């Protein structure tokens, strides 16, 4: 049956279904090969659409299904205070995906209008347009580079090594490219030559990923075991505090006692202790008593690093500022270093256009958090230079390190308790692994409810605590990759080069066909 003869509503329903299945290719499922069916199916549906609006809505519906299934977990955060935010749940489940899907609708419209006849050329062109749209999504309106299709390769470690050269955007481009190549096989027997060509192109694309995997195995074999940093033993504390309890002042003493107990229990060889984001939900710098109690649990000559809000100025001062911060406390109870989160979560930590939107942010308190001055490297006693990242700051490829002072490891503290037992924390942990492989440096991740873990500079998980577990990880600190990765030097310009190459290949393939 030709798709053109299928009723329009059924075609749009099929596009929605195919888009929803894209989540299978992403963490925690990693079933990347399903894209070899889903992407060609989308292209065939776009081809069958009549008129610009139907073309647009075919792409939009596909994107809507993709973002609903991939980002449904965002709505889970609203259930923490259901009485206050129940009315926002439809906007989180459907509104955000509907907005993000505008890009996929525009991708469909742009691709359909291309003056290309060769199916292989059209497949390559689709990968170029789709990847450019993903890159745009990563920077527009503060950026949201989540659900990039390349993240599905986190479960295929040899292939993942390619991000050390081309980054996650580059790997996503190659993934979409190869997934789109079977499109020509769906064009019917009347174009059998095109079908044969698409078959060969698909085989070549699969062979490309086989070569990438072989190169990845070689890279992994080059450094079998990451050399540990001498004289450093970290304790990662995952207290597993439910979000409903975290901001309940009556619960704070018990939570604080849990953190202290977990920090000092059998801690003879520990040099540094790390607590998650907002492990202390009140202003640590203003609370000398809390710092004194922390000081009693600080390892000798070491530090406790903890997430905590930070108040700048007096509470009664209209010009006061509140930061989501990471603070280092020494054995004397002094805060010796602080990092203020730079990339804040819209509506979670501040309300954009607050003068026009009469709503509260999701986190407690009516005052918006302020962004910090910029990414920075902390130089702490007994530790190699560290690049701190709070919560979703780790999701931005090529934008996790300050340009003037390169660290030797990344520390990501987060509070994924907002998202319960959904796919969100699994996706977040997978993204952290990709940053490690891209930058060629280890990532230490400490989460309130999980997933905490240690990832080496190749993206290998050396130790982890599962979602919803209370516990500690005592670990050495893996060393940085012996030399800087290509991506750490060129950054997202690698994607720009691949897109230019893709354009050249598409034009050349179409000319050969003509």
DSSP string, 272-329: EEE--TTSS-S-GGG-HHHHHHHHTTSPTT-EEEEEEEEEES-TT-TT-EEEEEEEEE
CA 246 vs CA 10, 82, 277, 363: distances in Å:
46, 16, 11, 11
Which residues are CB-neighbours of 395 under 8 A, at least 6 positions away?
Answer: 145, 146, 428, 431
The answer to whether the beta carbons of residues 342 and 374 sit under 8 Å apart is yes
The answer to whether the beta carbons of residues 162 and 216 sit under 8 Å apart is yes
The answer to whether the beta carbons of residues 275 and 306 sit under 8 Å apart is yes
Across the beta sheet with 272-274, what order do the strands follow? 335-340, 321-329, 303-312, 272-274, 228-238, 471-478
CA angle 349, 98, 324 (to 5 degrees): 10
Backbone φ and ψ of 399, nearest 5°: -135, 45
Question: Which sign, positive or negative, has the C-alpha torsion 437, 441, 442, 444?
Answer: negative
| Known catalytic residue at 277 | yes
Across the beta sheet with 443-447, what order do the strands follow? 386-390, 409-414, 443-447, 452-455, 461-465
CA distance 300 to 399: 34
| DSSP secondary structure letter of residue 368 | P
CA distance 254 to 66: 41
Choosing from 277, 349, 438, 439, which is the catalytic residue? 277
| Known catalytic residue at 503 | no
Enter the tokens of residue 222.
Answer: 């080059």
Residue located via tokens 């996503």? 172
Enter the tokens of residue 180.
Answer: 């789109």
Choosing from 246, 341, 349, 361, which is the catalytic residue? 341
CA dihedral 387, 379, 447, 93 (to 10 degrees): -40
The answer to whether the beta carbons of residues 473 and 465 sit under 8 Å apart is yes
Which residues are CB-neighbours of 423 under 8 A, at least 6 positions away?
Answer: 23, 26, 27, 28, 70, 72, 73
Residue located via tokens 């256009």? 353
Q: Helix 493-513 vs helix 119-137: angle between axes, to the nearest 10 degrees?
A: 160
DSSP string, 70-104: HHGGGGGGGGGGHHHHGGGHHIIIIIHHHHHHHHH
Choosing from 134, 246, 391, 439, which is the catalytic residue? 391
| Known catalytic residue at 341 | yes
Q: Helix 163-180 vs helix 192-222: angle between axes, to the nearest 10 degrees?
A: 160
Give the residue among 53, 96, 58 at the shortest CA–CA distance from 74. Answer: 96
Residues labelled as active-site residues: 277, 341, 391
């Amino acid at each position: 049956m030709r798709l053109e003869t299928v009723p329009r509503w059924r075609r749009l329903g099929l596009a929605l279904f195919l888009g929803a299945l894209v989540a299978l290719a992403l963490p925690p499922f990693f079933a990347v090969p399903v894209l070899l069916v889903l992407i060609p199916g989308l292209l065939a549906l776009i081809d069958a659409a009549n008129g610009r609006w139907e073309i647009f809505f075919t792409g939009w519906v596909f994107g809507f299904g993709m973002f609903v299934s991939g980002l449904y977990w965002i709505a889970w955060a609203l259930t923490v205070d259901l009485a206050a935010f129940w009315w926002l749940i439809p906007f989180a489940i459907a509104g955000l995906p509907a907005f993000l899907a505008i890009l996929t609708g525009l991708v469909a419209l742009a691709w359909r209008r291309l003056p290309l006849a060769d199916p292989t050329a059209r497949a390559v062109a689709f990968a170029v347009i789709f990847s450019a749209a993903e890159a745009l999504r990563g920077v527009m309106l503060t950026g949201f580079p989540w659900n990039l299709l390349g993240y599905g390769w986190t479960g295929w470690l040899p292939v993942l090594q390619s991000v050390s050269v081309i980054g996650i955007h580059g790997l996503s481009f190659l993934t979409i490219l190869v997934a789109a190549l079977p499109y020509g096989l769906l064009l019917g027997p009347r174009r059998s030559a095109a079908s044969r060509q698409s078959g060969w192109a698909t085989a070549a694309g699969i062979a490309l990923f086989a070569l990438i995997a072989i190169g990845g195995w070689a890279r992994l074999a080059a450094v079998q075991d990451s050399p540990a940093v001498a004289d450093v033993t970290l304790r990662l504390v995952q207290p597993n505090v439910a979000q409903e309890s975290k901001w309940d002042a009556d619960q704070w003493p018990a939570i604080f006692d849990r953190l202290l107990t977990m920090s000092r229990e059998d801690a003879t060889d520990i040099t540094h202790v790390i607590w998650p984001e907002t492990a202390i939900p009140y202003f640590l710098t203003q609370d000398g008593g809390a710092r004194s109690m922390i000081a009693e649990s600080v390892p000798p000559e070491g530090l406790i690093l903890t997430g905590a809000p930070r108040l700048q100025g007096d509470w009664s001062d209209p010009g006061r500022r509140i930061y989501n911060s990471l603070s280092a406390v020494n054995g004397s109870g002094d805060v010796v270093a602080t990092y203020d989160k730079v990339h804040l979560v819209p509506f979670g930590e501040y309300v954009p256009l607050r003068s026009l939107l009469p709503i509260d942010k999701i986190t407690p308190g009516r005052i918006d958090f302020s962004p910090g001055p910029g990414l920075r490297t902390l130089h702490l006693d007994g530790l190699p230079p560290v690049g701190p990242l709070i919560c979703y700051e780790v999701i931005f490829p090529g934008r996790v390190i300050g340009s003037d002072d390169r660290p030797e490891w990344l520390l990501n503290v987060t509070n994924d308790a907002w998202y319960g037992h959904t796919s969100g924390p699994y996706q977040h942990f997978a993204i952290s692994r990709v940053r490690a492989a891209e930058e060629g440096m280890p990532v230490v991740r400490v989460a309130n409810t999980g997933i905490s873990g240690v990832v080496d500079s190749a993206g290998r998980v050396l130790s982890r605590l599962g979602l919803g577990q209370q516990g500690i990880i005592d670990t050495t600190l893996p060393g940085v990759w012996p030399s800087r990765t290509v991506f750490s030097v060129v950054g997202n310009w690698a994607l720009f080069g691949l897109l230019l190459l893709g354009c050249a290949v598409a034009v050349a393939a179409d000319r050969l066909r003509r």
